[in-house]
Amino acid sequence: MTDQTSADGVTEQSFTLGEITGVLFTPQGTTGPRPLILMGHGGGQHKKAPGVLARAHRFAAEGRFAVAAIDAPNHGDRPKDEQFIQFAADMRARMAAGENPTGQVAAMHDLLAGRAVADWQAALTAVQELDQVGAGPVGYWGVSMGCGLGVPLLAADSRIRAAVLGLLGVHGLATPAARVTVPVQFLLQWDDSLVPRDQALALFDALGSTDKTLHANPGDHGGVPAFETGDALRFFARHLG
Amino acid sequence: MTDQTSADGVTEQSFTLGEITGVLFTPQGTTGPRPLILMGHGGGQHKKAPGVLARAHRFAAEGRFAVAAIDAPNHGDRPKDEQFIQFAADMRARMAAGENPTGQVAAMHDLLAGRAVADWQAALTAVQELDQVGAGPVGYWGVSMGCGLGVPLLAADSRIRAAVLGLLGVHGLATPAARVTVPVQFLLQWDDSLVPRDQALALFDALGSTDKTLHANPGDHGGVPAFETGDALRFFARHLG
């Protein structure tokens, strides 16, 4: 583990756990149990992508949460296997040809989900053994691919008590989504060119949670407004605080 | 004007302005300009309905806003005219017969809107002349009928700079909605038995605002979660503060 503390008072600790490469963000100098947020990244991104870093720092500095981010299988510092490389090339080609990638995206998430769920479960167990995290309540934040891998995780692991999800359609996720029962804040981009609006509304609808809120904003896939980070912070404070 | 200060430090002042009957809520003992929120009530309700009172007190006590609520035409302390009484009886009969009231609701709002918009404009001018309100920024909060009368108001009066709307469909409102350009937070109840979901999504879609956020929650027309009041407070603080 390597430690590095940033100017905003957040300590970043890189870790590896078998093949899992991750980073833990905590408020500097804190000890004892605290709520933990698992933060999944989008497709093609990694555990320290700019959006993940910005959000993790704000959650740790402002919300006093611990935040754990790991590379998804075939992403970031992890090796890429042949099947993934072929899948990714096929998806890029279809998108370049103007096809909507809904089916390919769902197949890619399905390819990664089994391993990703096991990785998150192992990382959660390991991180909660650290003194500065402990066995406090746990949340999950993940949109786009982070939602595609997060829904199966939430369906499988009852340790996670609240989640921010979104930017994805129902394709391939109806069954695990129905098994999600924890409070959810669901982000939708009204003019998302990658995710058809009715598919995203259908995924929100499919979630089994009785406490779920849809936050929809104008703009394309990458255009979630900055104020939604504050809304997510308050959502986690309400459910994990 | 009659004054009454409640235990939470909010002063209520009842007022009449021609035929308009209203109430102004301000933080106790304050003077000088402050942001003002105009608060419209739902159909069959009035300026001091429990939901209006609770929200107005929180906005004044916690957000330090001034809040003005007035009775809509034919509501609260105002006389009911013959045309309204017939409309309301017809609507009740159709609903009792199991008809969806979308068309009747829209016709009722259309009947009241011209007068309601003029009332709000006069009340806004008068209230801003008071020392404890002044010419600060102005917002509007209104759902259900408060949205049906609020959309034409926002289309007509450029003094209002941000609005919380919702719990209503697009029927009869597409044209004024397109003229609304201020930031909007729009509430939708996912299982609303009075407002078809696709009609409510279409009203959100029809708003001309580039900065608009849909907040959708499970439950029926009257079941907006309490945490949405906090979200509305932060929305107004962001845009009027």
CB distance A213–B217 less than 8 Å? yes
**Model confidence at B1: pLDDT above 80:** no
Mapped onto helix, strand or coil, the DSSP state of residue A212 is strand
pLDDT, tens only, B183-216: 999 999 999 999 999 999 999 999 999 999 999 9
Q: Is B7 exposed, middle or buried (0-12, 13-18, 19+ CB in 10 A)?
A: exposed
Cβ contacts from A onto B, under 8 A: 41
Sign of CA dihedral A230, A231, A232, A234: positive
Q: What residues make up the domain containing A36?
A: 2-240
Chain B residues with CB-CB distance to A216 below 8 A: 204, 213-214, 216
Whether the CB of B225 is below 8 Å from some CB of chain A: the reply is: yes
Closest partner residue to B213 (CB to CB) among A212, A216, A234 is: A216
HSE-CB for B138 with a 13 A CA cutoff: 20
Nearest residue of B to residue A239, measured between CA atoms: B227
pLDDT, tens only, B61-109: 999 999 999 999 999 999 999 999 999 999 899 889 988 888 889 999 9
Give the mean pLDDT of A90-107: 90
Domain count, chain B: 1
The DSSP 8-state label assigned to residue B220 in this structure reads -
Closest listed residue to residue B168, CA positions, set B151, B143, B185: B143
What pLDDT, on a 0 to 100 scale, did the predictor assign at position A37? 98
The pLDDT mean for chain B works out to 95
Chain B residues with CB-CB distance to A217 below 8 A: 212-214
What pLDDT, on a 0 to 100 scale, did the predictor assign at position B2? 65
Could you tell me the two tokens for B224?
Answer: 């907006």
What pLDDT, on a 0 to 100 scale, did the predictor assign at position A3? 73
CB distance B218–A238 less than 8 Å? no
Mapped onto helix, strand or coil, the DSSP state of residue A99 is coil
pLDDT, tens only, B135-148: 999 999 999 999 99
Nearest residue of B to residue A234, measured between CA atoms: B231
Backbone angles phi, psi at A43, to 5 degrees: -60, 135
CATH number of the domain where residue A10 is located: 3.40.50.1820
C-alpha B134/C-alpha B137 separation (Å) is: 9
